[in-house]
Amino acid sequence: MLIRFTIVALAILNLGVALWWMTPRQAPARAPEAAEAGVATLELVPMEAVEAASAVVLTPPSVAPPAPTPAPAPVAAPAEARKAAAVTAAATVTAAAPSPRPQQCSSFGPFESRDRAQAAATALRADLVRSRLREVPPKTATSYRVLIPPAASREDAQAMVKRIVDAGFSDYFIIAQGEDANAVALGQYRNREGAERRLAALTAAGFPARIVGNGAEAAARWWLDAAYAGTASTEDLRGRSGAPQQQSLDCARLR
């Protein structure tokens, strides 16, 4: 009897355990965890809501382009930076500018009169930095001759000599060549006083004599002293001035 009872009790116990496992149970509710400040809470979305949302076609709203960010206002540079920029700009301009050409100085002439020299200065004015007119007085003669002007021919000169001899004058000769060819020379003197006494005697006898200085200029001469910066060549300036000669000049002498 005892064994039968034990078997029946075990069978009932097993049946009860099987029924307990087969009965549906609800999971015990979990206490909500404390959320940290500033941290978003993760929530589970039911699967049905996800499937319903995926079936809806969403049209993305038009998004306006972001407004351009305004450029920052320029900050005023310090005084040292502005000064350095000014020095750099000045150096750049100086380096780009061509270096001035050195001045040259020359004397153009000689001219027969002041008016001719002034006309030359006017003709060269655009190319001259500065200029001046310079007069060169006639040189003092080293000796003097008394002449009767050249005759038309050698025969006429010999006829003049015969008249001079008949008048009582000596120390004469006929010049054979040069500018005074066929002139009659009546003496050469180291000072003008002696030449003037000879001239006075010949003039009193009716002879057209004159005094000629040896080694002296006929009249004063004028020169144009000019400084120029290479805008034209020296030869070009000489040709435009009409001067027969050009002489180098120290620019320090032209002030």
Residue 70 burial (10 A CB sphere; 0-12, 13-18, 19+)? exposed
Rg (CA), the chain: 65
Rounded distance between C-alpha atoms, residue 149 and residue 210, angstroms: 8
- Give the pLDDT confidence of 43-83 residue by residue, as tens digits: 555 565 545 555 544 444 455 555 566 555 555 455 666 66
Q: What is the pLDDT of residue 6?
A: 81
143-214 fold: Alpha-Beta Plaits (3.30.70)
The answer on pLDDT for 211 being more than 70 is yes
Q: How many residues does the chain have?
A: 255
The mean-pLDDT minimum among 129-143, 184-198, 211-225 falls in 211-225
- Say if domain 104-138+219-253 classifies as CATH 3.30.379: no
Q: Classify strands 210-214 and 143-148 as parallel, antiparallel or unpaired.
A: antiparallel
Q: What is the pLDDT of residue 51?
A: 55
The mean-pLDDT minimum among 11-25, 117-131, 196-210 falls in 11-25
Task: Write out the residue limits of the CATH 3.30.70.1070 domain(s) in the chain.
Answer: 143-214
Side chain identity, residue 1:
M
Residue linked to tokens 């008394």 = 146
Q: What is the pLDDT of residue 110?
A: 93
In this prediction the pTM is 0.39
Which H helix or E strand runs over 192?
helix 192-204
CA angle (135, 138, 143) in 5-degree steps: 165
Cis peptide before 110 (omega within 30 of 0): yes
Q: What is the pLDDT of residue 17?
A: 76
The mean-pLDDT minimum among 83-92, 203-212, 244-253 falls in 83-92
Q: What is the pLDDT of residue 139?
A: 75
- Give the pLDDT confidence of 163-173 residue by residue, as tens digits: 999 999 988 88
Where residue 19 falls among pLDDT bands split at 50, 70, 90? confident
- Give the pLDDT confidence of 139-148 residue by residue, as tens digits: 777 888 999 9
Rounded distance between C-alpha atoms, residue 156 and residue 133, angstroms: 46
| Residues 113 and 223 sit within 8 Å (Cβ to Cβ) | no
Q: What is the pLDDT of residue 207?
A: 93
Buried b / exposed e along 155-171 (16+ C-beta atoms within 10 A): eebeebbeebeeeebee
